[in-house]
Amino acid sequence: MDRVIFLIDMQTFYASVEKADFPEFRNKPLIVAGDPKQRSGIVLAACPIAQQFGVLTAEPLGQALLKCPQAVIRLPRMQHYIDVSTSVTDFLKKFTDLVEPYSIDEQFIDVTGSLPLFGPPWIIARKIQQRMQEHFGIYTRIGIGPNKVLAKMACDHYGKKDKTGIFELNAGNIEKYLWPLPIGGLFGVGHRMEQHFTGMGIRRIGHLAHFPLPLLRKRWGVNGELLWRTSRGLDSAPVSMNTFTEQKAIGHHMTLPYDYSEIRDIRVILLELSEEVAYRARSRHYMGHVVSVGISGTFQHHIGFQRQVRLPFATNFDMDIYHAANRLFTESWNRLPVRAAAVTLNDLQPVSASYQLDLFARLEEKARLNTAVDKIYQKYGKTAIFRGSSLMSSSQLRARAGKIGGHCK
């Protein structure tokens, strides 16, 4: 028996939450956007009414207001959105215990075992839509499939456009509905891979589904076969309640309030990013072997880079991470202004696991320092103790303290 999996997508989630909390805005165009003074003034969500005026997600707020000057502007409340998303997860567990959050506004659920109790898939989808509207004031679009990739693509390509908000992709209709779509619409295909496929004459998903698998394996290995299987609607990954129990990486990204051109200023940011990554790793009881740095250039110079290095020992100490990140940055920076930076700790392992010791890494001394700093952070906050470099004007420590994802809580 095929599984029955839903991808539940909450339409314009941030904007929907704001309208549910403030009914007086229900019939008005509403935009959720960051603070333009901190260069986070981009549209995070626009309600359907605002979208009718041409407002787009991720465009600058000033540009959106030229299209829709009468729009209601709401600053994001990230902690509240997280709380609502968690409540939605709990709500969906009334239909099945197999609920997997995919993002803050999307959740997979496996209702295979719930069919005898709640009825056929479309009936369950309708019930979820109605009750989500009643409980949260949020309209949901639902993709249905025998696996997660088909459920996701059913929602993205058809559920979001169908007047019912519900669509099903399965083995019986992928030839009609999935294969004619552009190859860029295949789950897992990014812009660069789309260019590679197009150059090979693979312009539609159906072209990939019929492409010789040995040639894909030869060029891209496991990933080539994975995309080929996806194009045929094949996916064996279960809906898992433990998706985020084990992490593969811990990172932190920062968009700067203005373009940084001086290396001393960028190093301040790299240090603050390294401190945050180290603290998150310790909080989740992880250490990592690989440090990576990502740099984005200005919009005028779409130049950036991603570099990584493997350390001779596992660590969750900020200065170990910073020294690696700074070396990667110094070796690769082209002296063009920097718009955003990210530091990530990869190849994680639990602190309790056995690991290679470094006789010169002063592990016990670092562990004692980490413990002391973490206790201060937990009791008094991130601004209670910090390095002198964070007093420089380029520092973003205090500006971002108390924010989530760079936005207001």
**Structural contact between residues 209 and 231, judged by C-beta atoms closer than 8 angstroms:** yes
Which residues lie closer than 8 Å to 206 by C-beta, 6 or more apart? 175, 178, 179, 180, 231
**Structural contact between residues 325 and 270, judged by C-beta atoms closer than 8 angstroms:** yes
Residue 106 annotated as catalytic: yes
SS3 (DSSP) at 342 = strand
Cα separation, 183 vs 392, in Å, equals: 47
**Structural contact between residues 286 and 316, judged by C-beta atoms closer than 8 angstroms:** yes
What Cα–Cα distance (Å) separates residue 317 from each residue in 166, 217, 273, 308, 386? Answer: 48, 39, 12, 17, 15
9 annotated as a binding-site residue: yes
DSSP one-letter code for 127: H
> Which of 18, 100, 106, 168 is an active site residue?
106
Which region holds residue 313: left if phi is over 0, alpha if psi is between -120 and 50, else beta?
beta
- The DSSP H or E segment spanning 289 is strand 286-297
**Structural contact between residues 343 and 292, judged by C-beta atoms closer than 8 angstroms:** yes
Q: Report residue 61: phi and psi, to 5°.
A: -60, -40
Cite the DSSP H helix spans in 107-173: 115-118, 121-136, 148-154
Annotated binding site for Mg(2+): 9, 105
Annotated binding site: 9, 105
Active-site positions read: 106
